[in-house]
Amino acid sequence: MSSGPQGQARGRIDAQPELIEVELARTALLIIDMQRDFLEPGGFGETLGNDVSLLKRAVEPIRSLLTRARQTGMLVVHTREGHRADLSDAPRAKLERGKPSARIGDMGPMGRILVRGEPGHDIIPELYPERGEPVVDKPGKGAFYATELQLILSTRGIENLIVCGVTTEVCVHTTVREGNDRGYRCIVPADCCASYFPEFHQAGLAMIRAQGGIFGWVTDSVRVLRALG
């Protein structure tokens, strides 16, 4: 951590393709969809035939960043993918897709699959939001689509996003692409993301940092913690 010309605290994050220096007061931790529906048996992820235990590896690294962000007063935003109980915000193209063992809105062991307010839709206890941390409900894969996320970030003067969560190549990637197009510097700690497909996780990160960082920067939780001081 160092000070800028106006005395603002700045963090230098060792990343790929290159080091990035950010003003910490203009940086937010964005945690994507760390919900029971994706990480626990019986939820949306498992209905699609996935081994949900593969996502657990991201929990502890995210928890270490979350703890530090809270200590430093950094804005923390959580997101949850899910739909209204009447599914009026769930397009047929999404509802009818594939051959899952149960569809969005069906009853499962954690309540209705991917429906807001159901136990499965909630964030896992290890990363549970604290009072005052915005929780953005999103009907799509990207966190900017049909949500108030951009308003929340612009109200706080945020320019940089540290993007964590699941899954790397779906909701994290979509959000990084959306954020990049909206002018945010998106920094992705690799160990704070996970996928049901380890090869997609690697490919997703490679796409972000390729071509001089075409969508953003890739780092890890240890390097972010070091930059936060």
Catalytic residue IDs: 33, 138, 171
116 burial via Cβ count (<10 Å: 0-12, 13-18, 19+): middle
Q: Is 74 a residue that touches ligand C5J (CB under 6 A)?
A: no
Q: Is 220 a residue that touches ligand C5J (CB under 6 A)?
A: no
CA 154 to CA 81: how far, in whole Å?
Answer: 22
Q: Considering beta carbons, is residue 141 or 223 the nearer one to ligand C5J? A: 141
Calculate helix-pair angle for 173-181, 198-213, nearest 10 degrees.
Answer: 20
Q: Is 40 a residue that touches ligand C5J (CB under 6 A)?
A: no
Q: Which residue bears the tokens 């939780």?
A: 221
Q: Considering beta carbons, is residue 58 or 224 the nearer one to ligand C5J? A: 58
- Binders of ligand C5J in range 118-157 (CB under 6 A): 141
CA 68 to CA 162: how far, in whole Å?
Answer: 13
Q: Which of 13, 39, 90, 166 binds ligand C5J (CB under 6 A)?
A: 166
Half-sphere exposure of 176 (CA within 13 A, CB side): 28
Q: Is 171 a residue that touches ligand C5J (CB under 6 A)?
A: yes
Q: Is 81 a residue that touches ligand C5J (CB under 6 A)?
A: yes
Q: Considering beta carbons, is residue 69 or 193 the nearer one to ligand C5J? A: 193
Rg (CA), the chain: 17
Counting every residue, how long is the chain? 229
H or E element at residue 10: strand 9-13
Q: Is 158 a residue that touches ligand C5J (CB under 6 A)?
A: no
Q: Is 167 a residue that touches ligand C5J (CB under 6 A)?
A: yes
Q: Is 104 a residue that touches ligand C5J (CB under 6 A)?
A: no
CA 141 to CA 174: how far, in whole Å?
Answer: 6
Binding mask 53-72 for ligand C5J (x = CB under 6 A): --------------------
- Binders of ligand C5J in range 9-38 (CB under 6 A): 33, 38
